[in-house]
Amino acid sequence: MKQRHLGNGLSVSEIGLGCMGMNHAYGKPAPREDMVKLLHHAVDLGCTFFDTAVVYGEANEELLGKAFSSLRDRVVLATKFGIVGQRIENGKPVNLLDSTPASIRRQVEGSLRRLGTDHIDLYYQHRVDPHVEPEVVAETMNALMKEGKILGWGLSNAPVDYLKRAHAVCPLAAVENQYSMMWREPEQGLFDLCSAMNIAFVAYSPLGNGFLSGRFTRDTVYGEGDFRGFMGRFRPEVMERNQALLNLIRDLAGSRQATPAQIVLAWELAQRPFIIPIPGTTSPQRLEENLGAALIELSSEDLAAINNTLAQIDVDETYF
């Protein structure tokens, strides 16, 4: 698989693997041994970039630690700090935040232990702590880099001003935000900023939590613990409003002898050279399908045609 680069110079596969769903958010945790096999299969297929976080459950980091204990030099591991717990309010999770230096140091030691490694390749602040200035967080990251505990750091869903202030103290390797055909907010200035500052853009939910794969309908029944059951974008009326987008993707896939998911991921890769999508899955077949998107080449003419058509579709970006 082709490689793309993080801002700290590390090379990663141009499509990574988001590991959240192996333990969190999409129903019951997947069988551990099956996920170890899946992670090994991903490496065999050329995937080198794996994304986790302690808020997905400590078992998620431990899973990667077990799977890659003998493959550590072949993978780039990204995990996160800043969310130290969650509580439920009105049926929705609310993050408990702490990015004070002392807390960050406790968090990094926990992640290193669970991942079974002496360094984290990419360490994101998962969410901004409004009580801690970005310069303080960046100074802590700089210290951890000097100590060799992390090789680079990033931000997830941070305001642009926060990003700029943090980057000025300790350059960012990546930002991780949602991006897909149904969530294009990063195109409104953030991509230009990433290009100017040599920051990679890691796209989570590149398939719109699976919506863009076309596998779900208004009649889909979601299992216990699957947060798509209360996500706004999976409400029947929202799905209906976005049917034109699904039709476009399906038609493109048919013309390319590809799947809808592959077209969506190929489109993302073609948008900017620093975009690295990290679709998640617990299925070997879906893993092969997603990584196979790297083989689909979209020309500048293809991309222009797709974007022109997308511009004519009124996409409902409802998330929650």
Q: Which fold has domain 3-311?
A: TIM Barrel (3.20.20)
Query: Which whole-number Å values give the CA distances from 214 to 97, 223, 226, 241, in the listed order?
Result: 35, 18, 17, 14
pLDDT value for 122: 98
Catalytic (active site) residue 56: yes
- Residue 284 identity (one-letter amino acid): P
pTM, two decimal places: 0.92
pLDDT value for 301: 87
Domain ranges within the chain, ordered by starting residue:
3-311
pLDDT value for 232: 67
Residue 150 to residue 81: CA distance in whole angstroms? 12
Q: In the structure encoding, which two tokens stand for residue 134, read together?
A: 């970005």
pLDDT value for 1: 94
- Residue with tokens 């991921």, as numbered in its chain: 265
Point out the residues of the chain with pLDDT beneath 70: 25-26, 217, 219, 222, 226-234, 318-320
- Residue 131 identity (one-letter amino acid): H
Residue 36 to residue 54: CA distance in whole angstroms? 18
pLDDT value for 185: 95
Q: Which of 56, 123, 124, 179 is catalytic?
A: 56
